[in-house]
Structure 1
């Protein structure tokens, strides 16, 4: 049964949840391994419909063979496909990675651009990937990264009713302070993996339950 208790306004709730997430996951950061912006870009493209852990197993050999955009742009496509095969959808990913790096070489002097409009002009790069790269490679909070965890939890927490990632992002950007846009996403991802799972959310041990309209009653720690 869904809770019908009174909750604070969205703005007040999201700021309190953000505070709690920072306390729960103080060391939360991007879980992809990379050394340069182009490596982060490539790793993020590979992470689509694939776990970060799997990507991190693939990228050491990939980056040893192709350490920069010039090498990614020039490597034979078949070899690139082999290097990224275990991440799934490898033909499309390899094609996009190579096309993106070729444009980085020809249009941006081999350096990953730092503007949203330039990033989303690259093959395989939508706002989600661009937000990750801008935040973690350049320290620029241009938007809120919306992956499957952020989408699910933002709906459960009542901060959006949308399913489209761009509309969800807009709703969250209105509620959160800009400096916290990316740290909201990264910590919500950690919470989605550890507690608020897709099929069986652990509401009984969730420290956000009292602020969540989807949490069942009685609340964790209360007497039934």
Structure 2
């Protein structure tokens, strides 16, 4: 795919959604960090249901530690892998207090040193909380990048690095959200909605499905 086509793809995505953002509900970088940790192998909708219970009670590292494991589990037990996530969240809160003055760190290395935080989670925080032009490749972005021909790759890191090179600079900050939302609602895994896709004339997917 050439650069002109890539530019047009993001121009189209921007025209339909000028100000994209995450569907996770949060009011601070810390709340976003907790929400993203909870979102592993879970839907944003299920995470929001849990954090609506959690954040009014505890939305700082100190308050979550005061809530304790039992209290935290009670709030997040509807989410998959909730026991492991609870342990990671409690350990992360301790490290934030001990080493970062209870603030969410702003570097990838410091973020990835937190329990439950991998490269994808770090990229979400850097992009959404701090405005860095990073791209967190989840299953939706991986699928869209490969299916459309935008940035094909064999693994998420390869796709991420290709996207950082391929996405025009002016679109790089919002590309993460455009691609996730496009994969979630239009370029779906089992049945892509090619008939309503705003970039179907630019997409290089060979098996397009225009049936409604």
1:197 pairs, out of 188, 202, 205, with: 188
Q: Which runs of 4+ in 1 moved over 3 A?
A: none
- Is 1:73–1:99's contact at 8 Å kept on the other side of the alignment? no
Contiguous gaps of at least 5 residues in structure 2: none
Contiguous gaps of at least 5 residues in structure 1: 1-8
> Which residue is 1:144 aligned to?
135
Between the aligned partners of 2:79 and 2:154, the Cα distance in structure 1 is: 25
TM-score by length of 1: 0.87
Q: Following TM superposition, by how much is the alpha carbon of 1:179 offset from its aligned partner in structure 2, in angstroms?
A: 4.9
> Which residue is 2:168 aligned to?
177
> Which residue is 1:131 aligned to?
123
1:77 pairs, out of 58, 69, 82, with: 69
- Is 1:34–1:43's contact at 8 Å kept on the other side of the alignment? yes
Corresponding residue pairs, total: 210
**2:36 maps to 1:36:** no
Between the aligned partners of 1:85 and 1:10, the Cα distance in structure 2 is: 47
> Which residue is 1:6 aligned to?
none
- Is 2:153–2:159's contact at 8 Å kept on the other side of the alignment? yes
**2:41 maps to 1:49:** yes
- Is 1:195–1:206's contact at 8 Å kept on the other side of the alignment? yes
**2:15 maps to 1:23:** yes
Q: Following TM superposition, by how much is the alpha carbon of 1:206 offset from its aligned partner in structure 2, in angstroms?
A: 1.8
> Which residue is 1:104 aligned to?
96
Q: Following TM superposition, by how much is the alpha carbon of 1:118 offset from its aligned partner in structure 2, in angstroms?
A: 0.7
- Is 1:203–1:215's contact at 8 Å kept on the other side of the alignment? no
CA RMSD, 1 decimal? 1.8
TM-score by length of 2: 0.91
Between the aligned partners of 2:49 and 2:126, the Cα distance in structure 1 is: 23
Radius of gyration: which is bigger? 1
Q: Following TM superposition, by how much is the alpha carbon of 1:136 offset from its aligned partner in structure 2, in angstroms?
A: 1.8
Q: Following TM superposition, by how much is the alpha carbon of 1:178 offset from its aligned partner in structure 2, in angstroms?
A: 4.3
2:200 pairs, out of 193, 205, 209, with: 209
Between the aligned partners of 2:87 and 2:198, the Cα distance in structure 1 is: 43
Between the aligned partners of 1:176 and 1:43, the Cα distance in structure 2 is: 27
Q: Which is bigger in relative contact order (C-alpha 8 A, separation at least 6)? A: 1
Query: Residues 188, 161 of structure 1: CA spacing in aligned structure 2 closer, same or farther, 3 A cutoff?
Result: closer
